[in-house]
Amino acid sequence: MSDPKHDSANKAGLRPNGRPRILVVNDDGATAPGIRALADAMADLGEVIVVAPDKPQSGMGHAITINAPLFVEELASFGPGIPVYAVSGTPVDCVKLARDVILDRPADLVVSGINHGSNSAINVLYSGTMSAAMEGALEGIPAIGFSLLDYSMAADFRGAQQAATHLAQQALAHGLPKGTLLNVNIPKGAPESIRGMRWCRQADAQWVEEFDARTDPRGRKYYWLTGRFQNYDEGHDADETALKQGFVSIVPVRYDFTDYPALEGLRQTWRLPDAATPS
Amino acid sequence: MSDPKHDSANKAGLRPNGRPRILVVNDDGATAPGIRALADAMADLGEVIVVAPDKPQSGMGHAITINAPLFVEELASFGPGIPVYAVSGTPVDCVKLARDVILDRPADLVVSGINHGSNSAINVLYSGTMSAAMEGALEGIPAIGFSLLDYSMAADFRGAQQAATHLAQQALAHGLPKGTLLNVNIPKGAPESIRGMRWCRQADAQWVEEFDARTDPRGRKYYWLTGRFQNYDEGHDADETALKQGFVSIVPVRYDFTDYPALEGLRQTWRLPDAATPS
């Protein structure tokens, strides 16, 4: 994949009033290498502000903190002009706090990640990375979540950075339709091994859980959630397929969860009670 | 609304091998009145097993517990033949543990709720109630989440119970398409005030956050998440409209989050890099 950082960087400068403002969030926490890699990649494109959980929040889905107060702490900058804020909450809390408390004007783009590990297929449901992006989209801001298929803290983020730079430029230039955000997953490995990018749909897959049962020192049984990912979908346009073939997968995701195709069939099959008759 | 419990209860008995098995979950915790109301409503339809968080988990979205072990405790039965298990985790954890550890054969139906408070419109994104139902759907089981527009612990659940009974019967009789679950919201008030049920789509709405900033005894600033719900959607088929008009809203929800309508436009507008050229 060619380095997109140098061939269309000017598109990000279309705005008349200065550089675009890019909010960088994640779910692995403010100290994870992935978010630093993402902030670095964004630094050429605009004004970068990092707001991230103060501890890992993987698997938090679209959780919000409603029964505890939230603390915000400014950490050491990631580099010149890149402030970093740590929030004692979830990824979604970070986006909400950024908008209402930390930023004086809204972001032009929300990027989330780079997640340490895949958020392809149904992993999007559990993903704090994607929920943070979704929260940005809910606020009407173009939003993209990036995830690298490598859990290692020493992962090579260069390919993911190139993809992030390119797609952030496209988002700044073209925007995204209202209600749509992007779920971008990047194959593991060196940038040279990435074959390109592909528009995809969410693969039909499942986690097959295998709880690991143990007994604690007090004799109480407890369970660790484990499991293996099972893909059922070999379609060319499934994100799993693209990733397996060495492509970056890009799935447009919407936050309107209505199953429109199912509506008509259900209307015809299910019997609903007639209008009110007091019982 | 007539009491559907007595006019088509036999449909639930279509299965040749005994009564259907109904898993009851929620996000308000095993001691919330709403889950007891739901379990009671299901008791006429099949074998009921309750598996719920051991403490309130509202706003947990599709969170799962990956960094802590899970404990399961059997609580006092809700009634003859209704076992109740409390799990030290999230609503989604409950469904996973139910399937893999607690139940010897899969459930035929997963019902979640009755939530104390609305999960209409975009609240579905944040809802542990709906995530538990979604996890059931992911396992290929018909699944419905029920939420009552009344936060009170002393709420009148009778209208919600009637809706739950009716819709559970329909689900047992007709099933649901693969990939689809239902988000059912019930207006507040006595059952007689409910005007009927309506198939709906997720209304276009937003939470406008207003963080309440305070200072703790050590001088640290902190924030409570508050906000007001803002509906932008007056469409007849929007769930907010149905609820406002006194109808139970039923939104088919899918867990394939792919934004298919957006795919083609993005493909044509955004420029993706060509196939790999080593950089």
Write down the pLDDT at residue B57: 84
Residue A149: φ, ψ to 5°: -80, 55
Residue B37: φ, ψ to 5°: -60, -40
In a domain, B196, yes or no: yes
Residue type, B150: D
Q: Confidence class of residue A157 from pLDDT cuts 50, 70 and 90?
A: very high
Number of structural domains in chain B: 1
pLDDT tens digits, A219-232 = 999 999 988 999 99
pLDDT tens digits, B138-177 = 999 999 999 999 999 899 999 999 999 999 999 999 999 9
Write down the pLDDT at residue A275: 54
Pairing of strands A247-254, A212-215: unpaired
In angstroms, the CA A14 to CA A6 distance is 16
User: What are the tokens at B156?
Assistant: 């009148």
- Confirm or reject contact between B151 and chain A (CB < 8 A): no
Write down the pLDDT at residue B275: 54
pLDDT greater than 80 at residue B16: no
Write down the pLDDT at residue A209: 79
Of A71, A206, A246, the CB nearest to B138: A206
- Confirm or reject contact between B79 and chain A (CB < 8 A): no
In a domain, A87, yes or no: yes
Write down the pLDDT at residue A276: 45
Give the count of beta carbons closer than 10 Å to the beta carbon of residue A260: 12
Q: Put residue B35 in one of left, alpha, beta given phi > 0 → left and psi -120 to 50 → alpha.
A: alpha
pLDDT greater than 80 at residue B10: no
In a domain, B134, yes or no: yes
Q: Using the beta-carbon criterion (under 8 Å), do A259 and B269 form an inter-chain contact?
A: no
Range of the domain at A141: 4-204+234-269
Mutate to test the interface with A, among B97, B200, B223, B237 (most CBs of A within 10 A): B223
In a domain, A226, yes or no: no
Per-window interface: B 28-57 vs A, CB < 8 A: 56
- Confirm or reject contact between A233 and chain B (CB < 8 A): no
Give the number of A-B residue pairs with CB atoms closer than 8 Å: 278
Q: Using the beta-carbon criterion (under 8 Å), do A72 and B221 form an inter-chain contact?
A: yes
Write down the pLDDT at residue A59: 73
Q: Using the beta-carbon criterion (under 8 Å), do B100 and A195 form an inter-chain contact?
A: no
In a domain, A274, yes or no: no
pLDDT greater than 70 at residue A120: yes
Q: State the ipTM, two decimals.
A: 0.84
The CATH number covering residue B242 comes to 3.40.1210.10
In angstroms, the CA B113 to CA B183 distance is 11
In a domain, B53, yes or no: yes
Write down the pLDDT at residue B5: 34
Write down the pLDDT at residue A262: 94
Cα–Cα–Cα angle for B68, A134, B214, nearest 5°? 70
- Confirm or reject contact between A102 and chain B (CB < 8 A): no
Of B58, B61, B257, the CB nearest to A124: B257
pLDDT tens digits, B263-275 = 999 999 999 986 5
Residue type, A38: L
Q: Confidence class of residue B6 from pLDDT cuts 50, 70 and 90?
A: very low
Write down the pLDDT at residue B3: 37
Residue type, B277: T
Q: At what angle do helices A33-42 and A158-174 cross, to 10 degrees?
A: 50
Instruction: Calculate the average pLDDT of chain A.
Output: 90
Q: Using the beta-carbon criterion (under 8 Å), do B4 and A62 form an inter-chain contact?
A: no
Half-sphere exposure at residue B182, Cβ-oriented, CA atoms within 13 angstroms: 32
pLDDT greater than 90 at residue B122: yes
How far does the CA of residue A235 sit from the closest CA of chain B (Å)? 14
Tell me the CA distances in angstroms from B49 to B20, B46, B100, B109, B238, one per residue in order: 11, 10, 14, 11, 33
Write down the pLDDT at residue B17: 54
pLDDT greater than 60 at residue A6: no
Write down the pLDDT at residue B76: 95
Cα–Cα–Cα angle for B183, B187, B189, nearest 5°? 145
Contacts for A174 with CB less than 8 Å, ≥ 6 apart: B269, B270
Q: Confidence class of residue A196 from pLDDT cuts 50, 70 and 90?
A: very high
pLDDT greater than 50 at residue B279: no
In a domain, A216, yes or no: no
pLDDT tens digits, A171-180 = 999 999 999 9
Pairing of strands A221-224, B70-75: antiparallel
In a domain, B279, yes or no: no
Is the preceding peptide bond at B114 cis, omega within 30 degrees of 0? yes
In angstroms, the CA A117 to CA A25 distance is 15
How far does the CA of residue A149 sit from the closest CA of chain B (Å)? 18
pLDDT greater than 50 at residue B14: no
Write down the pLDDT at residue A13: 34
